[in-house]
Copies of this chain bind each other. A is one copy, B any other.
Amino acid sequence: MSILVFGHKNPDTDSICSAIAMAELQTKLGKDIKAVRLGNLNKETEYILNYFNIELPELIEKVKDEQEVILVDHNEKGQSVDNRDNSKILLIVDHHKIDLSTADPINLRFETVGCTSTIIAKLFKENNLVPSKEIAGLMLSAIISDTLLFKSPTCTDEDIKQAKYLAEIAEIDYEKYGMDMLIAGTSVDDKTAEEIYNMDMKPFSFGDQTATVAQVNTVNINDILKRKNELIKVMQEKIKNDKLSFALLMITDIVNKGTELLVVGDKTLANKTFGLDMSKDTVYLEGVVSRKKQIVPPLTNAAN
């Protein structure tokens, strides 16, 4: 039975590309391994797999008991594969906060960098291996995606260093390719409000409240805001079905670096954390582009 490697549910570019890159790394190390995915691709990732002519990983929802797995770009149970508790986790490579408890010793490689693929690029080097041209292109794409072409506050010197190294191997002009890729990812005209909300949505716990935080990148916030009423309906539905305290949507302008935060449900924590006017649905957060660094930690701290 092959080892399975996958990123989080509602996969973004890093979750898909890091899983495929890890599969190549482990294959070069002599392991029998297969990259899979826990959800549908977003437009940006579709553009990337198409650009590098990489086959779509198989969709799975749950794993069998005793299945050997490698996790990339996530560690929390709620974001992972169904039946994970009965699988055997060989390794987790991640750059998020941790919430994990195991019965046995485990291999973990967590670094506070902007992108999981940055860590995987280092792992290739530490093992004296060089990724193929296409896989280097995928890892480069993941770094561009997670760091918004090095503009996000989550971006570190290490991300830029590895991205430049990968761009050389992939023989790509990363500035031009990166902007094309990001813009290809922002078009939502053909999407329903539900699809927009679920594109890059993750569940979280803040103290004793549960919530979802979704993010959509755009080059024009009003393109999304004009569909506010539809989106609120989807989020209200989500709150009811999943018994959440509230639901957030970050509408992030990747050129001007700012986020219009849409809040549905119990607004108390968003009011306390971000100064949301309780009579309104949205608040504009200047300079905020990162869920991981600028939205989740302040909510966690305010809840505790």
What residues of chain A have their CB less than 8 Å away from a CB belonging to chain B? 95-112, 126, 292-293, 297, 300-301, 304
Contact = CB atoms under 8 A, between A and B. Distances in A.
B110 A108 contact: yes
**Copies of this chain per assembly:** 2
A98 B106 contact: yes
Contacts of A98: 98, 100-102, 106, 108
A39 B39 CA distance: 49
Nearest to A85: B304
A104 B108 contact: no
Contact of A100 (B100, B292, B300, B304): B100
A214 B103 CA distance: 18
A97 B104 contact: yes
A96 to B, nearest CB: 6
Among A108, A293, A297, A304, the most chain B Cβ lie within 10 Å of the Cβ of: A108
A99 B104 CA distance: 10
A107 B103 contact: no
12 contacts: A97-B104, A97-B105, A98-B102, A98-B108, A99-B101, A103-B297, A103-B300, A105-B112, A106-B110, A106-B112, A107-B111, A107-B112
